Each structure stands twice: as C-alpha cells, then as structure tokens.
A = this chain, B = another copy of it.
C-alpha cells in the first residue's frame, strides 16, 4: 500500500464526515436552521483571533502551508528510501567516496540526505556528522510539532468560543422572557455556536493536528534511515550491515532485502 493512500484518507474522511452531517441536518428539516452568520462569526472569527494571539501570523501561515504541503506531497515510502540509500552505499563501496559527489548533486528532493552525504564527501568525522544531523532532525521535529500545535490550539479554542457564544445567547434570551414562543428558536440559535465549535474542533482541527503529527513521525523515520546511511558510509562499513540496521527500525512490511 503506497503512501498516497494516506492523503486519500484525509480527503475522503473529511468529505464523508461533513456530508454525513449535512445529510442528518436535512433529514430533520432544512439546513437553513443551522446557518446563522453572527454565530459563525463568533466561533470562526474568535478562534482565528485567539489562535493568532497565541502564536504569530508567521506561525499560522507556516502551519497552513505545512498542512497543504503534507496533503499534496507524496513522501517516499520507508522501504524505497532504504533501498535507495543501500544502492548508494553499495556503489560508494565499489567506486569509492568520490563517486558520492555526483550522487549528492542529484538529491535535491531529499535535502536531509543531501546534507548528510555532503558531510560524508567532505570527510567530516563520523561523530560530528551524527551530532549535526541529529540536531537538524530534532530542530525539524520541533518546527513540525509547532505547526501541529497551531491546529491543536484551534481545536481547544473553538469549543470555548462556542460556549462563550451560547452563554451570550442564553443571557440575551433570559433577559427577554416576555414572549414564550421565542424561547425555543432563541435557544436553538444559542446552541448553534456550541454546535459549530464542536464540529470545527472534532471534525476539522483535531484530525488535521493528528495527521500533521503522524506525517512528522513518518518523516522522522526517513531521517533516521538517512542518518544511519550517512554514518555507515562515513565509517566505510559494509552495506550489508547497514541493511541489517535499517531493517531493525523498519516495520516488518517495509523491510528490504537487497544483498544476497
């Protein structure tokens, strides 16, 4: 099963969930009962405003771009990445470190691997390569978790704004109990903000945050593969040993068998 199915899952899941909701709304009458502009403004506007205060415009922009990126990009499956680096390691073993220089130039799409092998070509000490690459991988994880945190924060804020809107509506309604016929519809409108907040948080923001975290974990696995490869080539070890090490961190279904 290729990585592409993951993005498919996001699109299908989001659409299915929201369609189901729309169907349930229409079954019970009309959707217009669920549309109220001021309520939407309080919940959506309030969530955006509060999340902006918590982070920065830059963080919010990056989070949204990281998300779109991760939905569209096809990341390399771990087994393909492992096969690639094993092939490179094998070639380096046979043709010498010099052959690596040409390979490095072609690795635009995998900047982390490119950087790692670049350090190998420049014959940095292995311990230093490990330190630099680990630092870079960790710094990337922190940046990614920050983007997930934006969505997670929005998922916290949306229900709170929903509650605030409902309280606001209830206070207005309770102050005007003259006409009993208006109680029901007023309550309905007051509850709408809570409804909006729950839908936004649980069906949009939280799953996107979780998805970003999963993508980040997947990328961490790729980075480990590339790190191990760079260290192995730097130590000029036999690629068979690298294969052994990579298979130890790959899930059983992704393990590779290139040598013998």
Contact = CB atoms under 8 A, between A and B. Distances in A.
Given A164-B202, A202-B157, A184 B175 contact: yes
Interface residues of A, number: 91
Interface centre among A50, A199, A208 (most CB of B within 10 A): A50
Q: Which of A28, A153, A169 has the most CB of B within 10 A?
A: A28
Given A28-B168, A135-B249, A139-B248, A50 B207 contact: yes
A66 to B, nearest CB: 11
A96 interface: no
Interface of A is mostly: helix
A172 B249 contact: no
Nearest to A33: B175
Interface string A243-260: 011001111100000000
Nearest to A55: B214
A99 interface: no
A106 interface: no
8 contacts: A1-B61, A10-B53, A13-B50, A16-B45, A21-B164, A53-B211, A139-B248, A167-B194
Q: Which 9 pairs across A and B sit closest by C-beta, in order of nearness?
A: A13-B53, A177-B184, A17-B49, A53-B207, A54-B210, A13-B52, A174-B188, A6-B56, A28-B172
